[in-house]
Every structure is written in C-alpha cells, then in structure tokens.
Amino acid sequence: MVTFMLNGAQVQADPNWSLLEAAKFYGLYIPTLCYDEGLTPYGVCRLCVMEVGSGDRTKLVASCMHPVIEGLEVRTHSNRVIKTRKMILELLIARCPGSKKLQDMASMLELKEVRFKPLNDDCILCGLCVRMCEEQMMAKAIGYAGRGTDRYITTPFDMTSEECRKCGACMYICPACELRCQGPEAKTTLCSGCLNTEAVCAAKYDDAMCFMVPCLSCVKRPEDVK
C-alpha cells in the first residue's frame, strides 16, 4: 500500500490506483467528463484536476492520469482547483450548452453564468465514444480527424463505416447528446436492418444515428406472419 496525504489526512491506497480512484474510494466527489471506469483514462477534459505538492511548489495534474505516490500531498478542493474547474466547465458549456451532464456539473460547482459566446456545438471531444467503440465494442468504427480547432470525430474517410454495428454505444456514453437524443421521435427513422430510410437526426447531427428501428421492408409485422 502507498501512504500519502489527501486533504491533510494521511491515507493509504493501492499502488496501481490513480489519484482519482483513491479520492473516489474515500468518498470524495470529483467531477469528470472524459473518464469512465470501464475505459482507458484519457485525461483530456481536465475537470478532475487536483493540486499536488507542498508549500509554494504545487502544480495541477489530471487526477485520472496521475498515480498515487508515496508521501505525495494532494488537495482535491483547494481554491486554485475549484477556480480551474469552473473555468474549464465554463468553456465546455459555451461550446456545448445543450449538454445535460454539463448543466448538472455547473449546478454542483455553483457555476451561475457563462461569460463566453455559446458555440452550440454537439461534440466536446471527450473521446468517450471513440474509446467505447474500440475497447468495449471491439469495432474501431470511429476516430479523430483533423488538428487543433478543426479536430472532430468521424468514420474512416467520412464514409459509412463497415465496422459499425449500429449498437448505439457511442450515443449511450456521449455526455453531449443526452438532450437531443431524448427528444420526440423523428418523422422518418433510420432502419437498423437495411438503412434504407434517411433519418432526420442523421441529417441534423452528421453521423449521429439516434433513432434506429426496423422498417417493414426487412422486418415483418406480427399480423403479416401467417
């Protein structure tokens, strides 16, 4: 076991744990966006930052990526940490104001206003969908393309992926699509069998296929079966 200081208290943790895992083990709420227990840590959202070090020699680290270290001093809710989390969350909400998960986090962190112009985007590049598709679905049907501000998530060559099974796992784990995927049913829906009906949702949100129901041309209705 590794012994270190967590918010002034001496604690022990498994040497294979990250600071985030240790903090959660001791019942501390740490906001996370790109982190999921079943996926490889990515450390891109930075909402889980913690302050490590002593005196004036401290720094902010992504707790999901930083291992527990013998004798390390960690502060999970210092003024510096809270201020940083609020700034990051404010930028994320400005990018994707329709995300219910971001709105809930803003309430938890008591973030009352966003000073930046909203972009009304539908992706915050957390990478959850990419890792879910690769690590849990074993498909690798989607990935990153572009660089910098032009980076986005798409299928290979921006075409329909042959590896995609239309399982919906990427939509399930996406923190930015919760509101748009729970809206009223579209007038036309995308068939999960033959894909012969264009989906309103797919046209509006690029390749995001929210409504996947079998069509009558490939699935018989009960009354049609004799």
Pairing, β 143-145 against β 2-6: unpaired
pLDDT at 149: 87
pLDDT at 164: 87
Phi first, then psi: what are they for 196, rounded to 5°? -95, 0
User: Residue-wise over 32-62: b if at least 16 C-beta within 10 A, else e?
Assistant: bbbbbeebebbbbbbbbbbbbeeeeebebbb
pLDDT at 218: 46
In DSSP terms, 85 is beta-bridged to none
pLDDT at 177: 74
Query: Any alpha helices (H) in 34-185, and if so which ranges?
Result: 79-95, 100-108, 128-131, 169-173
Pairing, β 49-54 against β 57-62: antiparallel
Instruction: Report which of 222, 198, 226 is spatially closest to residue 212, judged by C-alpha positions.
Output: 198
pLDDT at 166: 82
What's the farthest any 2 CA atoms get from each other in the chain? 79
Phi first, then psi: what are they for 170, rounded to 5°? -65, -40
pLDDT at 40: 95
pLDDT at 197: 43
Instruction: Report which of 197, 226, 224 is spatially closest to residue 214, judged by C-alpha positions.
Output: 197
Domains of the chain: which residue ranges?
Answer: 2-108, 183-226
Q: Say how many C-beta atoms besides its own lie within 10 A of residue 79's C-beta.
A: 9
pLDDT at 178: 52
pLDDT in tens, the chain (226 residues): 999 999 999 999 999 999 999 999 999 999 999 999 999 999 999 999 999 998 888 999 999 999 999 999 999 999 999 999 999 999 999 998 888 889 899 999 999 889 998 888 889 999 999 999 999 999 999 999 999 989 999 988 888 888 888 888 888 899 987 544 444 444 444 444 444 444 444 434 444 444 444 444 444 343 443 3
In DSSP terms, 112 is beta-bridged to none
pLDDT at 120: 82
- CATH no. of 2-108: 3.10.20.740
- The two three-digit tokens of residue 52, written as one number: 């490590």
pTM above 0.95, yes or no: no
